[in-house]
């Protein structure tokens, strides 16, 4: 029994290092060698971040400003088939919006379909964490192995300044209650996810004048919960935070240096869009890529 457990642990470690070494976001070395596809299948969201405009992609993981066309799970699998079969460097399939992936059943259906068809691909999800503990079993069941949770605060008095409302299990919370509800769930989720075998990254949006002091505390807690990596993303001033400034490179580097004492820092994030495709920063148009692959297939059929 003991031996079987040890073997299982070794396999899990091997699996984990294989996933990290081929994941463009979790490994600096992998980001120029491997790519990812984001599938925009998740339009609904269950909270309101004050830097987010609903009609754009989820600003917790994506760069706002580009509206994604929402895909059905069937269309999403179709796109994966077209793209993955002509590009073996695409190793990760992520769902990062345009809303919160866990608030949309389409997310789980999409992952399950892809996992059945392509079990070798790494499935990755990014969430605001409100439903993480509630939907963890479903994520694991659908084959998801890497996870990002965006957490911007530890204390409710700070979170209250960042979120307008939270909708949880049929109740709409505002103010301090909303902040407490979200923080409770956000901080419970990562530890449980790590125990369930997922590789976890914590994203934090650096909002000058709001959570500067809080970010090192977030990094400390994230490390304690077993997260592998932290990604501090500079605010893109939009919506209610339009009047704030975007943090400078210097300010970003200073805060990263403070946090790396607790947890490794991601420095190559490109704030992708929810329908990104290819290597990080390439920002290829997924529809165009699909079209190219179809033209390629038809050409092969003609010449063969």
Supply angle C-alpha 80, 122, 39, rounded to 5: 40
The item of ligand SF4, ligand CLF, none sharing an interface with residue 280, based on CB under 5 to 8 Å by kind, is: ligand CLF
**Where does 31-134 show beta strands of DSSP type E?**
35-38, 47-49, 90-95, 122-127
Shortest reach from residue 152's CB to ligand CLF, in Å: 15
Q: Which of ligand SF4, ligand CLF, none does 269 bind, CB closer than 5 to 8 A by kind?
A: ligand CLF
Shorter beta-carbon distance to ligand SF4: residue 122 or 126: 126
Of the residues 19, 25, 59, 158, which one makes contact with ligand SF4 according to CB under 6 A: 59
Q: Decide: is 204 part of the binding site for ligand SF4 (CB under 6 A).
A: no
**Of these, 20, 30, 36, 60, which contacts ligand SF4 (CB under 6 A)?**
60
Regarding 52 and contact with ligand SF4 (CB under 6 A), the answer is yes
- Residue facing ligand CLF at closest CB distance: 94
> Which of 238, 175, 178 lies closest to 205, judged by CA?
238
Other Cβ atoms less than 10 A from the Cβ of 244: the count is 17
CA dist., res. 213 & res. 27, Å (int): 27
Note the Cα 69 to chain centre separation in Å.
18
Taking the CA atoms of 27, 141, 143 and 44 in sequence, report the sign of the dihedral they define. Answer: negative
Please calculate the CA angle 185-191-195 and round it to the nearest 5 degrees.
Answer: 130
CB of 58 to ligand SF4, least distance (A): 3
49 is an interface residue for ligand SF4 by CB under 6 A: yes
164 contact choice in ligand SF4, ligand CLF, none (CB below 5 to 8 Å, kind-dependent)? none
Query: Closest approach of Cβ 155 to ligand CLF, in Å?
Result: 25
Q: Which of 272, 284, 276, 208 is nearest to 246 (CA)?
A: 208
The helix (H) or strand (E) run that includes residue 302 is helix 286-303
Position among 24, 40, 94, 99 found at the interface with ligand SF4 (CB under 6 A)? 99
**What residues contact residue 173 under an 8 Å CB cut-off, 6+ apart?**
165, 166, 167, 181
Give the whole-angstrom CA distance, residue 71 versus residue 145.
Answer: 22
> Is the distance from CB of 50 to CB of 239 less than 8 angstroms?
yes
Query: Of residues 37, 45, 124, 181, which one binds ligand SF4 by CB under 6 A?
Result: 45
Which lies closer to ligand SF4 via its Cβ, residue 223 or residue 239?
239
Cα-flanking dihedrals φ and ψ of residue 275, to 5°?
A: -120, 30
- Residue 49 CB, nearest approach to ligand SF4 (Å): 3
Among 19, 37, 39, 47, binds ligand SF4 (CB under 6 A): 47
Q: Of 106, 105, 147, 152, which Cα lies nearest the Cα of 127?
A: 147
* Contact yes or no for 48/174 (Cβ under 8 A): no
Which lies closer to ligand SF4 via its Cβ, residue 59 or residue 218? Answer: 59
Among 19, 58, 123, 199, binds ligand SF4 (CB under 6 A): 58
Stretch that binds ligand SF4, among 53-61, 115-123, 208-216, 250-258 (CB under 6 A): 53-61
107 in contact with ligand SF4 (CB under 6 A): no
> CB of residue 24 vs ligand CLF: minimum separation in angstroms?
7
Question: What residue ranges bind ligand SF4 (CB under 6 A)?
Answer: 45, 47-49, 52, 58-60, 99-100, 128
């Amino acid at each position: 029994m003991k031996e079987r457990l040890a073997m299982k642990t070794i396999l899990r470690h091997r699996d984990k290092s294989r996933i990290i070494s081929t994941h463009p976001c979790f490994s600096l070395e992998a980001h120029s060698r491997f790519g990812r596809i984001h599938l925009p299948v998740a339009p609904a969201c269950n909270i309101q971040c004050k830097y987010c405009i609903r009609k754009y992609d989820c600003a917790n993981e994506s760069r706002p400003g580009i509206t994604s066309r929402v895909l059905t799970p069937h269309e999403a699998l179709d796109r994966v088939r077209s793209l993955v079969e002509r590009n073996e460097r695409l190793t990760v399939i992520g769902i990062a919006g345009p809303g919160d992936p866990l608030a949309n059943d389409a997310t789980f259906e999409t992952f399950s379909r892809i996992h059945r068809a392509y079990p070798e691909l790494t499935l990755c999800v990014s969430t605001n964490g409100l439903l993480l503990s509630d939907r963890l079993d479903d994520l694991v069941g659908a084959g998801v192995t890497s996870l990002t949770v965006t957490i911007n605060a530890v204390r409710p008095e700070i979170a209250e300044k960042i979120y307008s409302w939270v909708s949880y299990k049929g109740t709409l919370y505002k103010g301090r209650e909303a902040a407490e509800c979200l923080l409770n769930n956000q901080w419970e989720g990562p530890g449980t996810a790590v125990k369930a075998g997922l590789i976890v990254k914590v994203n934090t949006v650096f909002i000058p004048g709001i959570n500067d002091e809080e970010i090192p505390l977030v990094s400390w807690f994230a490390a304690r919960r077993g997260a592998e990596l932290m990604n501090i993303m500079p605010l893109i001033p939009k919506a209610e935070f339009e009047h704030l400034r975007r943090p400078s490179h210097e300010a970003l580097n200073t805060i990263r240096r403070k946090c790396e004492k607790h947890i490794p820092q991601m420095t190559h994030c490109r704030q992708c869009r929810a329908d990104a495709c290819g290597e990080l920063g390439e920002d290829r148009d997924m529809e165009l890529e699909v079209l190219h692959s179809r033209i390629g297939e038809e050409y092969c059929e003609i010449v063969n």
